[in-house]
Structure 1
Amino acid sequence: MYDWDARLNAVSTNRVVRPFDWGLEWTRQWPTAARFPQNGHDPHGYLKLLNQAGLEDSDEFFGYRTPSDFVLDGNRLRFTSPVKTPYSENNTVHGQWFPAAQKPGKRRVAAVVLPHWNASAQQHGALCAGMAKFGINALRVSLPYHDYRMPAELQRADYAVSSNLARTIDATRQAVIDTRCCVDWLEQQGFESIGIVGTSLGSCYAYLASVHDPRLKVNVFAHCSTYVADVVWEGLSTQHIRQGLESNVTLEQLREAWDVISPPNYVERYAQMGKKPLFLYARYDTTFPTRFSEQVLAKARELGFEHRAVALPCGHYSLGEAPFKFMAGYHIVNHLKRNL
């Protein structure tokens, strides 16, 4: 199984080792930066300060104004992201809409679907179509710097997660805010119960969005892990990013630099929110190393909040291959169907 995942990982031959950068210019639009100017702080100290301030008031950090330009054209939803970046392509959010037939007397339910890192515009479409067949309206959202939002200079979604530390935070903040905007749109359409499904990087985004949005009551996290820094440092698919990091920062410094986007820092809050999560993970995962997934579940048991956990006998990449993708699809749809 490990060999199969290694072969699937090796299919991508266009990974680039990019230079390290603190990326402090990406912090200027953060609400924390307005309250804490850099002054004499060194880059690491300043980014650490902004992370601490963001954690202290994460509702402010992930706060936003609802867009006023939602447009549904056929099955494509578009709107302007509240987070402005230097890339015009990335500033427009794209969602693919998979409507379900509405049965009389049934509640109108929907779920936001956040794909994995470097997903193409077509991927996760089959899952969304399957959800719609079972009565769950699905909105597949393009992540920042992905597919329709990818800057012309890129072949991969390198700006979503990279050795540019503050840009990685900014992309995550944008993903969380864009997701919450999608929930706003679904509410405007009259949906009464809304869930979220995230896979891999999309799972991290989904968790952060759910922590900061009580409307997302039913959650599916396909691949779950702990600190973003640890996943990037150890994960098979992010070794090219580590190469750009390790001569400039230690793992501990990287954790501090990415604290505000790391799920473990919000788990106590999540435990009090009465969510209905499904944690779906792979027993032979070398990208989100399995022991990290097991730590997530151990913490859930320790805190005693309601959850379901499913371990599939595959790796990270092979979860997207037959027969495991069908097994995952069954568990995802079943969890949503039972709880929305």
Structure 2
Amino acid sequence: MNRWLSVLIDKAGLYFLHRNRSIYTQFQNDNDLHSILHNQNRDAFYQLNEVPHLLFEQKDSKQLSPYSYQYDSPIQTGDKTNDIAQGICYLNENHDQSVHVIIVHGWRSDSLNKFKSIFLKQMQKKGYNVYFPTLPYHFERASGSQYSGEYMISANVERTITAIRQAVLEIRGLIQWIKQTKRGKVVLIGVSLGGYISNLVSVYEKEIDSLISVMYANNLSYEIWNTPIGKYIKQDLQKHNITYEQLQQYWSILQADETQSLISTEKILLISGKYDQYVMDQDTKNLWLAWGKPKRLLYNCGHAGIVFSQKQIARDTINFIENLTTNGSE
């Protein structure tokens, strides 16, 4: 796909995305926020105190139907609907000894259809177990919001921090539960916001056998301030006299390239679109450089390449997983 067409498709996508936006300001002032954030220790902030107990239920009686699962979120926000971590999974017959793939969806996703169409069928053919966790304030966890994900990333600076921390710890809990109760390797795949979250998870969770991050961001404050995706959040912040420099300080604890991933470089695959209008190339490049230049694929597409490059994404991710498995990487 050429540059002109890629940019045009992304801009069209952004236009339709922004037709549904917050009606009211999401900003909330907390006079103690600055001191609270600067007294936080990163390892303590993302520490998982115990492995959760997952409850599973098969969605219907069909043999290949997915299971739903849920558990208490390690971070309780006071929102009862949001404080139950949940997701669905597709398990193969020999699910205790397989590759376990966790796929983290993007911001404002209102269904898993796009992510299933990219990965699920091909991964089931390989015999993988596939898990789709629901991010905070998305899908059924988004009660009372204007759209799925509205309360996860917004001008409410502190709630955004809490939601991202909640996502990181919930995925860490799922990974550790798999490692304790199953056998096999755990592969973490994140797409768009899911890639950003997965990158953060890999900085604090050592029980990941491979990380694949697709169309990911790195520095949330940079993306909100410098890309069209965050323009209304930026406007909300500016109306309340929050500067870019302040936001960078507040959200620095949410930045993956501030710390090295615990995953060895040869087990990381980063995928970006050259003409992405949602996520800036400089931001994705910064992470790649900070992490010692793991394998990086640059597609000739924009952020919409998530949809238009489905076969290529599936092929590249599965090849990467299979190569690691064949080579017996530990």
**Greater Cα offset, 173-182 or 67-76:** 67-76
Residue-by-residue CA offset, 1:111-160 (whole Å, 9 max, x unaligned): 21110001123331231342222232111100000012111343231111
Measure how far apart 1:163 and its partner are. 0.3
Distance of aligned partners of 1:18 and 1:284 in 2 relative to their CA distance in 1, 3 Å threshold: farther
Work out whether residues 232 and 239 of structure 1, in 8 Å CA contact, stay in contact via their aligned partners in 2. yes
Work out whether residues 117 and 201 of structure 1, in 8 Å CA contact, stay in contact via their aligned partners in 2. yes
TM alignment of 1:110-125, pairs within 5 A: 110-123=100-113, 124-125=115-116
Q: TM-score, normalised by structure 2?
A: 0.86
Determine the C-alpha separation between the residues in 1 that align with 2:187 and 2:307.
24
Work out whether 1:7 is the aligned partner of 2:12.
Answer: yes
Measure how far apart 1:273 and its partner are. 4.5
**1:29 equivalent in structure 2:** none
Residue-by-residue CA offset, 1:23-63 (whole Å, 9 max, x unaligned): 54xxxxxxxxxxxxxxxxxx3xx434333333xx3221112
Q: Secondary structure at the match of 1:11?
A: helix
Residue-by-residue CA offset, 1:57-93 (whole Å, 9 max, x unaligned): 3221112333554111111111111211232111111
**2:217 equivalent in structure 1:** 225
**Greater Cα offset, 58-67 or 220-229:** 58-67
Work out whether residues 103 and 131 of structure 2, in 8 Å CA contact, stay in contact via their aligned partners in 1. yes
**1:53 equivalent in structure 2:** 39
Distance of aligned partners of 1:182 and 1:260 in 2 relative to their CA distance in 1, 3 Å threshold: same
Q: Secondary structure at the match of 1:186?
A: helix
TM alignment of 1:141-180, pairs within 5 A: 141-180=133-172
Work out whether residues 121 and 142 of structure 1, in 8 Å CA contact, stay in contact via their aligned partners in 2. no
TM alignment of 1:100-111, pairs within 5 A: 100-102=92-94, 108-111=98-101
**Greater Cα offset, 200-209 or 166-175:** 200-209
Q: Secondary structure at the match of 2:312?
A: helix
Determine the C-alpha separation between the residues in 2 that align with 1:18 and 1:325.
36
Work out whether 1:80 is the aligned partner of 2:72.
Answer: yes
The aligned amino acid for 2:173 is C
Measure how far apart 1:22 and its partner are. 4.6
**2:22 equivalent in structure 1:** 16
Work out whether 1:252 is the aligned partner of 2:239.
Answer: no
Work out whether residues 190 and 212 of structure 2, in 8 Å CA contact, stay in contact via their aligned partners in 1. yes
| Root-mean-square deviation (Å) | 2.1
Distance of aligned partners of 1:173 and 1:258 in 2 relative to their CA distance in 1, 3 Å threshold: same
Measure how far apart 1:259 and its partner are. 0.7
Determine the C-alpha separation between the residues in 2 that align with 1:132 and 1:280.
22
Measure how far apart 1:18 and its partner are. 4.4
**2:62 equivalent in structure 1:** none
- What count of residue pairs does the alignment treat as equivalent? 307
Percent identity of paired positions between Structure 1 and Structure 2: 20
Determine the C-alpha separation between the residues in 1 that align with 2:57 and 2:263.
35
Q: Secondary structure at the match of 1:112?
A: strand
**2:64 equivalent in structure 1:** none
Measure how far apart 1:7 and its partner are. 0.8
Q: TM-score, normalised by structure 1?
A: 0.84
Q: Secondary structure at the match of 1:161?
A: coil
Structure 2 unmatched ranges of 5 or more: 1-5, 59-66, 326-330
Selected match of 2:295 from 288, 308, 312: 308
**1:37 equivalent in structure 2:** none
Work out whether residues 196 and 216 of structure 1, in 8 Å CA contact, stay in contact via their aligned partners in 2. yes
